[in-house]
Amino acid sequence: MSDGHEHNGHEHVPSRQRRRFPGISSRTYEHPADRSALVALRKLSGFDTVFKALSGLLPERSLRLLFLSDSVRVSDQQFAHLNVMLRDACYILDLEKVPPMYVNQDPQPNAMCIGLDEPIIVVTTGLVELLDEEEMRAVVGHEVGHALSGHSVYRTILLFLTSLAVRVAWIPLGNLAIMAIVTGLREWFRKSELSADRAGLLVGQDLQASMRGLMKIAGGNHLHEMNVDAFLAQAEEYEAGGDLRDSVLKILNVLPRSHPFTTVRAAELKKWAESRDYQRIMDGHYSRRDEDKDTSVRDSWRESANHYSTHVKSSKDPLMKLVTDLAGGAGDLGDRVRRGFGGFTGPSPKPQGPESGPSDPSGDDRPPRDGS
C-alpha cells in the first residue's frame, strides 16, 4: 500500500502503511459458521416470502432520516479522524462506495451497520471516547466488513422483528412465530460478528489493537488493570469449565444476545490470526469478488459442516463431549448418564466387574482385558 492514495476524490495519508486487498471477496474472511447459518436461515420455511414482505414494510427511510436529523454525520468537517479511518477501511477492503457513517450520542459503547438498499454505519459516543485510534480503526473495519458481506440487510430485519415481537407479545401464536425467526437471526448474527472481527483485523492489521478493543468493551478504559493472556484464559475456562448443567446455562445465556461473548470473540480472533489462512491472505492469496458467482453452494456447505464437526470434536465443553461420545459410541457413556450431570465433569471411573476385578493384595490394580 502506498503512503497516500486517492479514493472517491479524497486523498489522505494513513498513519502507517497497510496491505490492501483489491477485489477481495467477503468469502475470504467469513467464518464457516456464518456461511452455514445463512444457508440454514434461508431454508426456514417461508423465509423468502417473509423477507420480500418485510422489504416493503421496514422503516428504512425513517431510520436514515432519524440519524440524519439527530446524530452527527462523519465527514471532512465532522469527526474528520473517523472519516479518514472509514475511507481507509473501504480502500483496504476495496469497497467502492463509502457508506454514510454517523456518531450517535449514547454512553453505551456500540456500533452497527444497518440498511436494506444501502448500508449505513452508526457508532456511539461511548465507543468513540473509549477506544484509541488503532482500536477504533479495527472497529470501523469491522463495520465495513459487515457492509461488504451484506450483513446489514439481516441486521435491519432483526431490529424490526425484535421490535415487532414486543408489540404482538399478547398474541401467543403470532409472538411464537416471530420469536422463532428472531432466534434464527440472532444465531446467524452472532456468527457474522466473528466474520466482521476478522475483517476488522484485515483493516487494522494490528492484533494487539483488536484485543485491546475487545478488552475495553468488556472491562472499560482500564487497560492498566487488564492482561490479554488472563483475558483469553477466561475464554478457555468458560468453554471447558463446569458440567452438563453449565453447558445448558451457556446456551440459555447466549440465546437473547446478538453478539458472542467478548472473551469468546477474542479467543476466536486470535486463533484465526495465528492460522495459515490469515497468513495466506496477508501474502495476497484470497478469494476474489469476481469469482463469487462461480462458488459452489454445496462446497460452502461441506466446508461449514466440516468446521462444525471439527469444532465439536475438539471442544472441551461437557455438552460437546457428550455429542462426541454419542457419535463415537464411547463405552463409558451409559455409566456417565446413570451417574447424572456430575458424570460429565471428570474422568470415567475404572471399569468394574468380573473381568477387571478388585485390586489384588499387593495393591496393584489389574488392567481390564482387551475388549472389556
Catalytic residues: 143
Sign of the torsion formed by the C-alpha atoms of 193, 198, 202 and 205 = positive
C-alpha grid cell for residue 341?
450431570
Please count the CA atoms within 13 angstroms of the CA of 56 that sit on its side-chain side.
4
The span from the CA of 303 to the CA of 326, in Å, is: 22
The span from the CA of 292 to the CA of 274, in Å, is: 26
How far from the centroid of its chain's Cα atoms is residue 233's Cα?
A: 19
The span from the CA of 232 to the CA of 264, in Å, is: 8
Angstrom CA distances, 57 to 41, 44, 54, 64, 164, stand at: 20, 20, 5, 15, 12
Residue 302 makes CB contacts below 8 A (sequence gap 6+) with none
The span from the CA of 36 to the CA of 300, in Å, is: 8
Axis crossing angle, helix 47-57 with helix 151-167, rounded to the nearest 10: 80
C-alpha grid cell for residue 286?
484470497
Buried b (16+ CB within 10 A) or exposed e, 289-309: eeeeeeeeeeebeeebeeeee
C-alpha grid cell for residue 205?
492489521
The span from the CA of 123 to the CA of 143, in Å, is: 9
The span from the CA of 305 to the CA of 222, in Å, is: 40
Residue 45 makes CB contacts below 8 A (sequence gap 6+) with none
Task: Give the SS3 label for residue 111.
Answer: strand
DSSP string spanning 270-284?
Answer: HHHHTSHHHHHHHTT
